[in-house]
Structure 1
Amino acid sequence: MIELKKVICVLLILVMFFVVAGCVQPDDTGEDEQGIIEEQNELASQREFTASQVNSAVELIEEEGEQAFPQFREKNSQWFHDDFYIFVWRNDGIRMVYPPNVSREGQDTSNLEDFNGKPTGQLFIDIAQSEEGEGWIDYYWPKPDETEPSNKYTFIKAASFDNQTYLVGSGFYVNDYIYTNTLEDVDYTRYGNTSVGYLIHPAKVDRDLDVDFSFTHVIIDAGQSIEPHIMKNPEVYYVLEGEGVLYIEDVPFELSKGKLVHIPANSKQYTENTGDVDLEIFVIDQPAWAKENEQILE
């Protein structure tokens, strides 16, 4: 299995290949571009909303001091609803307001770390004490009532009342707005001597991605092969590991790490793993892979 950074680079290269080659072509360019803008605006709107709420909370604290704190704990209010909430610390790291679990208020959180060991507590304090007095930070933190961490993006801003200084913050979970995946999280299906897992397939995610292609990780066992078949749509193979031979209309194309091959639509194809280790391939289908587009040959 290759490193995540390498996977991301390969993903970008292959998607760019499709765009340049014209394999991914929207029916209406104007509508597609508008869809992209709307998706970007949804993320941007949440970022602006979060910063605006923190700014408003800071203004309230600087007017009322700790008398404002009960408002932040009130459920289904502008300050605390769904998985959104405002939290407040003193600048020494003592947690003053934590709506998801008020029993944790009063704790020293200056040494708080995220799931990956990032010193978020000290970083929060550093942001509030910086010259700007505000800033964004990303880290991994569970959503309310969940145990598995998610990528969170949080805005921190300093506040003061009388002689007491605070840091005020709120964040959102970026995966609610942007789809991400890793090979470690892919579910694989076994077909004979081959394992198939979708990094992205519009029919296999719980949101509308506004895409019509699939990106698949295919693993062929050492010394084995994929049976001859025809795809009605074009495909692109990119070899991650191993070696083998891809036959297109019975013409052999050697496969080795880093090799990219475009397979025209309606071409007879089959692949052999000629090595003694797994042959790992990224496969892009446009439109997204569908059983009705595949014909198995005898």
Structure 2
Amino acid sequence: MKYLLKSFVLSLFALLMTSTAMAAEKGSRDEAVALVKKAAAYLKENGKEKAFAEFSKTDGPFVDRDLYIFAYSAGGDGTNLAHGANPKLIGKNLLDLRDADGKAIVKNFIEVANSKTGSGWVDYKWANPLTKAVEAKTSYVEKVGDVILGSGVYK
């Protein structure tokens, strides 16, 4: 009986440790907001050219696990200015980009960023750079001058 109890406790402990480790591999909503705030400060201090180059480095200071910075023009044209997970998107007009459910992703970023508050959350589906699977995601976007900065978490 003691052996069974000991085995059960050890198994439970191993399961909890695995769950904790897996949770630590994903960024949190608070971490996404903090990364956007860090990017906003960097943009204001260093200008667009330097900031967009740093934001677009897939192994740079604005990428943390599954969190990364993306930037769009706030003018409404949908031009991607920086992307920490997929540099191939930079310079492309993604205004009509839709997720697997047909949701207009970039249009929603622009709408939220140009709202009265200038920031907020947008839900959609996107490919996770770590798992490569399309997953539910929510991104925090914030207008900084004429730029929309964002970072999101996979649910």
Give the TM-score taking structure 2 as reference length.
0.75
Residues 1:68 and 2:68 aligned together = no
Residues 1:169 and 2:150 aligned together = yes
Q: Which structure carries more strand by proportion? A: 1
Residues 1:158 and 2:143 aligned together = yes
Residue 64 of structure 2 is matched in structure 1 by 81
Q: How many residues align?
A: 130
Name the CA shift for 1:110/1:49 in 2 (closer, same or farther; >3 Å): same
Inter-partner Cα distance in structure 2 for 1:146 and 1:123: 25
Q: How does 1:10-29 map to 2 (within 5 A)?
A: none
Name the CA shift for 1:153/1:122 in 2 (closer, same or farther; >3 Å): same
Residues 1:101 and 2:63 aligned together = no
Q: CA deviation at 1:62?
A: 2.0
Q: Which structure carries more helix by proportion? A: 2
Higher relative contact order (CA 8 A, sep 6+): 2
Largest Rg, 1 or 2:
1
Give the TM-score taking structure 1 as reference length.
0.40
1:161-215 CA-partner distances (Å, limit 9, x unpaired):
xxxx0100000111xxxxxxxxxxxxxxxxxxxxxxxxxxxxxxxxxxxxxxxxx
Residues 1:115 and 2:97 aligned together = no
Inter-partner Cα distance in structure 2 for 1:99 and 1:51: 15
Q: CA deviation at 1:75?
A: 3.8
Residues 1:53 and 2:38 aligned together = no
Q: How does 1:1-298 map to 2 (within 5 A)?
A: 46-66=28-48, 67-91=50-74, 92-144=77-129, 148-160=133-145, 165-174=146-155
- Tell me the amino acid that sits aligned with residue 104 of structure 2: P
Q: Larger deviation: 121-130 or 92-101?
A: 92-101
Name the CA shift for 1:82/1:48 in 2 (closer, same or farther; >3 Å): closer
5+ residue gaps, structure 2: 1-15
5+ residue gaps, structure 1: 1-34, 175-298
Q: CA deviation at 1:82?
A: 2.8
1:143-172 CA-partner distances (Å, limit 9, x unpaired):
126553101111000011xxxx01000001
Percent of paired sites with the same residue: 28
Residue 255 of structure 1 is matched in structure 2 by none
Q: CA RMSD for the aligned pairs?
A: 2.3
